[in-house]
């Protein structure tokens, strides 16, 4: 039954019940009748909210990682500046067909044809709002050159999104995916930890908990540099003001003179495990973390040292940057020939590179890539013969007979279909 129908029946039933009780003398005055009406109306509203929560839970549980195959066209409905260097895109399906739900914490993969490039560039962006029936939201930070290469160009796709993309532009998008998501079937207390633009997946989780009126105890720690870099400031303040079970702690590492402690931010400094301990007292929470590598490394090490079991720590990095060294495959074979069949080239694996994608790049063999971290599936390549070893478990489906070169090394002589 539709909720509106249910409510209409409920409203009629309520009026009849109150009228009957008035007639039978159970309710003596019109004031009694009005109070009874209000109580029953509140009961029905609560029931209505519970049905809504159950519906959303069901939709999120049913959401599959393959909501559609390949690329689907989305129109940028709104583009909103969230703070310095971060814009949100609200995407609506161009075909007007329904929008599949996703798990809070998952990401979309964009395939962007940049001006002047003959091949699309692939990048992943976390969905930054809870599942909604009419839009997906992404929030993208313009990647600036690293301190040791200040003259390098800014990030390709993030600059394009921030500087070029306009409302009503069309983007090619792969379905929501990813294994970093809030476990919505649990009732345990949660700690959400975000560094900088790493806020996006954990904000989706927070917004989901707000949407379903969860009673879970929630701590949300956000670390940014200062007020200029503080995304979703008003939205987060409003959540903290209106929810007793949600505590938001904002840390500014380098506040400006006009940033006010106690108003704009809570703590001067970074998000540390000592700070988390001060707020939580005990460690039996589920922790969800997203941020830069140093943020993740220090917090995960500290949480483990505090006794938090590995199974209660869920984390996502936004992939190795162009400048950071990817994780090498442990026990990788020392020397091996790798044949790239389509390109008719052979390269020697000598263990000096971190993975097969780096080997292909070095040999100028084109393999599309996105996250370069085993998450997006863009580099999926067929193995014609031989086998590979992985540095970590793939975060996406890998078809039989294929591999993800970005996290793989050869396990002996190998022929790839690239």
Does residue 63 belong to the site contacting ligand FES (CB under 6 A)?
Answer: no
The listed partner (ligand FES, ligand FAD, none) that binds 369, CB under 5 to 8 Å by sort, is: ligand FES
CB-CB contact of 289 with 296 (8 Å): yes
- Could you give the strand order of the β-sheet that contains 190-195, starting from the edge strand earlier in sequence? 267-268, 246-252, 218-224, 190-195, 286-290, 313-316
Does residue 146 belong to the site contacting ligand FAD (CB under 6 A)?
Answer: yes
Q: How many CA atoms lie within 13 A of 3 on its CB side?
A: 12
Residue 18 or 360: which CB sits closer to ligand FES?
A: 360
Does residue 177 belong to the site contacting ligand FES (CB under 6 A)?
Answer: no
Residue 156 or 247: which CB sits closer to ligand FAD?
A: 156
Residue 224 or 356: which CB sits closer to ligand FES?
A: 356
Largest interatomic CA distance in the chain: 93
Calpha distance 322→143 (Å, rounded)? 11
Does residue 379 belong to the site contacting ligand FES (CB under 6 A)?
Answer: yes
Neighbours of 23 (CB within 10 A): 9
Site for ligand FAD in 192-211 (CB under 6 A): 197, 200
Does residue 371 belong to the site contacting ligand FAD (CB under 6 A)?
Answer: yes
Does residue 181 belong to the site contacting ligand FAD (CB under 6 A)?
Answer: no
Applying CB under 6 A, which part among 214-222, 258-266, 321-329, 406-414 lies near ligand FAD?
321-329
The listed partner (ligand FES, ligand FAD, none) that binds 123, CB under 5 to 8 Å by sort, is: ligand FAD
Does residue 372 belong to the site contacting ligand FES (CB under 6 A)?
Answer: yes
The listed partner (ligand FES, ligand FAD, none) that binds 404, CB under 5 to 8 Å by sort, is: ligand FES
Place of tokens 């890998």: 398
Does residue 143 belong to the site contacting ligand FAD (CB under 6 A)?
Answer: yes
Residue 162 or 336: which CB sits closer to ligand FAD?
A: 162
Reading the block at residue 218, the tokens are 């929630």
Interface contacts to ligand FAD, rule CB under 6 A: 107, 123-126, 139-141, 143-146, 149, 152-159, 178, 197, 200, 318-319, 321-323, 371, 373, 375
Interface contacts to ligand FES, rule CB under 6 A: 369-372, 374-379, 404, 406
């Amino acid at each position: 039954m539709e909720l509106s129908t249910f409510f209409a029946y409920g409203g009629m039933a309520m009026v009849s019940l109150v009228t009957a009780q008035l007639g039978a003398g159970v309710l003596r005055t019109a004031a009694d009748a009005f109070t009874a009406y209000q109580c029953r109306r509140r009961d029905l509203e609560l029931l209505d909210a519970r049905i809504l929560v159950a519906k959303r839970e069901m939709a999120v549980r049913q959401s599959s990682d393959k909501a559609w195959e390949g690329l689907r066209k989305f129109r940028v409905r709104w583009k909103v500046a969230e703070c310095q260097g971060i814009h949100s895109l609200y995407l609506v399906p161009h075909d007007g067909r329904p929008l599949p739900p996703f798990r809070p914490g998952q990401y979309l993969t964009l395939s962007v044809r940049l001006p002047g490039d003959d091949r699309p560039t692939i990048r992943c962006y976390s969905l930054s709002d809870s599942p909604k029936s009419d839009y997906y939201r992404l929030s993208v930070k313009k990647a600036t050159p690293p301190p040791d290469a200040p003259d390098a160009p800014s990030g390709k796709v993030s600059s394009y999104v921030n500087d070029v993309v306009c409302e009503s532009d069309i983007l090619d998008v792969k379905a929501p995916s990813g294994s970093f998501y809030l476990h919505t079937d649990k009732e345990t207390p949660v700690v959400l930890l975000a560094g900088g633009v790493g806020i996006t997946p954990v904000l989706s989780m927070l917004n989901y908990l707000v949407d379903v009126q969860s009673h879970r105890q929630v701590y949300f720690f956000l670390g940014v540099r200062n007020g200029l870099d503080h995304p979703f400031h008003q939205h987060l303040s409003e959540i903290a003001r209106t929810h007793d079970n949600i505590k938001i702690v904002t840390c500014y590492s380098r506040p400006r003179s006009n940033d006010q402690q106690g108003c704009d931010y809570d703590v001067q400094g970074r998000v540390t495990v000592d700070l988390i301990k001060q707020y939580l007292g005990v460690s039996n929470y589920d922790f969800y973390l997203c941020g830069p590598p140093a943020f993740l490394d220090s917090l995960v090490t500290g949480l483990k040292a505090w006794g938090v079991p590995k199974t209660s720590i869920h984390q996502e990095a936004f992939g190795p940057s162009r400048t950071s060294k990817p994780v090498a495959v442990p026990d990788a074979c020392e020397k091996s020939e790798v044949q790239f069949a389509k390109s008719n080239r052979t390269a020697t694996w000598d263990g000096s590179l971190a993975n097969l994608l780096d080997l292909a790049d070095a040999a100028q063999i084109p393999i599309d890539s996105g996250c370069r971290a085993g998450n997006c599936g863009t580099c999926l390549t067929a193995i014609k013969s031989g086998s590979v070893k992985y540095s970590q478990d793939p975060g996406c489906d890998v078809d039989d007979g294929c591999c993800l070169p970005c996290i793989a090394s050869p396990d002996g002589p190998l022929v790839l279909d690239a």
